[in-house]
Structure 1
Amino acid sequence: MNQSALHVFLSSFSLAFHKPLRIFVWLPLLINIILLATATYWLIDWISDFNPLASFATDNWYGWIVKIAQTAIQILLYILLIPMMYYSFTILAAILLSPFNGLLAEKTAVHIVEHQSESTFSPSDIAQITVQSFAREMQKIMYFLPRAIGILILGFIPIIGLAAPFLWIVFAIWMAALQFLDYAADNENIQFNHMRIILNEKRAKTFSFGLIIWVTMMIPILNFILIPVVVIAATRFWFMHFHPKNQ
């Protein structure tokens, strides 16, 4: 049971193809792909049509300068906006698809704890987990925002601001662990503040798992594709190391 965070993460890939979990892995993944493809198409189309230098004539002697400037602006927008959209989409997807993640975590828990290959959710179960998941996401957002703003403000303070990037990375790793380990905790009806205490009591394990998630989430495109695998890994890691029975 005392498996490392990396081992749990890597061994969770095979579970994503396990029959009882497939629908909760591949359906949100399909939704993610459709939404991301639509957003990418819209953004590329907008950038292609964006021309702030349209009022300048291109048939004069300086026309080539205007054309080069237009191309440079578009390339800059591609470089800046597309990665920003991917990272923003990952955060948004985690919120919008939280019910799927909650259901996947519950299904994973049933599989690994009760060793049931087949189990179904009733409509009331799905409704309860959906409402519960959205409510929990709001708690995470309210926890995240003031601390993120505080670190941002620190960044503008001379000398102290030098520590802001380091603090941000540490906080991001903590939030990554909290975000995904919380699905299993929420399904166990463990209050958000109590869950934070449990994670804080085992900081080494929390940060080792959070670091893997944080690195994974930094990889464009793969970051949202791997979300279901991370949910499965987080659920397994929770029951191995953080579940109250293991305290």
Structure 2
Amino acid sequence: MIDDYLTGFSYPFRGLGLIRRRGIRPLVVVPFLLNTVIFAGAIVLAAIYLNTTLEALLPAWLEWLIWPLFVLAVLAVFFFGFTLLANLAGAPFNGLLAARLETQLSGVAPESGLSWAREAGTAIVNELRKLIYISLRALPLLLLFLIPGVQLLAPLVWLAFGAWMLALEYADAPMGNHGLGFRDARRLLAQRPALALGFGSAMLILTLVPVLNFVAMPAGVAGATAMWVERLRSSTAG
């Protein structure tokens, strides 16, 4: 399990190198620009509302105990939400990036049997389904921050949930190129939970680190594509 976690953790950082490959760089431009605009907005909003949010939700007697973890969790809420928006806007381009990189890594171009226009439409529909899926689960989890005592565990629960959802978010790009939907992604990653949580944990780091968060989306797509080729694709055989 630990090996799976560490392997999954490595893929987003491998993605940082993969997006610099010849033939891949041009496909990174649009996701990079989208991330730059959206995450710049997230940074501004986080700076404005973070202190107010913490003072409202965190009792004074807990500040010294879980302040750093709570700050991290609140920032994750901000940037996770903006990540979903960035991926919704960039879904058609992410599919192209994943397809081009998979062809380089495996030597075989993915075939979904759909035209590019239909693939782009399917990708957007999948993103909307993910938004609904995430919202139905995220809102109850956020309420944990308001329950005395449970507040101690709430940041850890949220960070684990965020890691899981980021794994689902980025794995969808290469899987979608093979005609697999969001439900398929959940099923395949549920078979390798440590791998998925490792990947998502690394994506949380990329999302929260200044400068790196601007390339988090293309790096995540690239890393997820490598993970699909090397670890997950065989699970769909037969």
TM (norm. structure 2) is: 0.72
List aligned pairs for 1:154-173, cutoff 5 A: 154-173=144-163
Percent identical residues: 27
For residues 216 and 14 of structure 1, do their structure 2 counterparts lie closer, same or farther at Cα, with a shift above 3 Å needed?
closer
Match of 2:54 in 1: none
Runs of 4+ more than 4 Å apart: 36-40, 81-84
1:28/1:97 contact within 8 Å kept: yes
List aligned pairs for 1:125-144, cutoff 5 A: 125-144=115-134
Question: What is the CA deviation profile of residues 55-103 of structure 1, one whole-angstrom value per residue up to 9, with x for unaligned ones?
Answer: xxxxxxxxxxxxxxxxxxxxxx89325989x835444222111111111
Q: Distance in 1 between matches of 2:38 and 2:135?
A: 25
Q: Distance in 1 between matches of 2:217 and 2:108?
A: 23
Q: Which amino acid aligns with 2:164?
A: W
Describe the SS at the equivalent of 2:147: coil
- Give the counterpart of 1:217 among 181, 204, 207: 207
Q: Does 1:108 align with 2:111?
A: no
Q: Which amino acid aligns with 1:136?
A: N
Unaligned segments of structure 2, at least 5 residues: 51-74
List aligned pairs for 1:4-153, cutoff 5 A: 4-33=7-36, 35=37, 79-80=47-48, 87=79, 89-114=82-107, 125-153=115-143
- Give the counterpart of 1:195 among 185, 194, 201: 185
Question: What is the CA deviation profile of residues 22-67 of structure 1, one whole-angstrom value per residue up to 9, with x for unaligned ones?
Answer: 221123324544x459969xx7xxxxxxxxxxxxxxxxxxxxxxxx
Aligned residues: 204
TM (norm. structure 1) is: 0.70
Q: Which entry has the higher C-alpha Rg, 1 or 2?
A: 1
**Higher relative CO (CA 8 A, sep ≥ 6), structure 1 or 2?**
2
Unaligned segments of structure 1, at least 5 residues: 44-76
2:8/2:194 contact within 8 Å kept: no
2:171/2:225 contact within 8 Å kept: yes
Q: Which amino acid aligns with 2:203?
A: I
Q: Which amino acid aligns with 1:129?
A: E
Structure number having the greater helix percentage: 2
Task: Please identify, of 153-162 and 196-205, the stretch whose mean Cα deviation from structure 2 is larger.
Answer: 153-162
Q: Distance in 2 between matches of 1:89 and 1:157?
A: 26
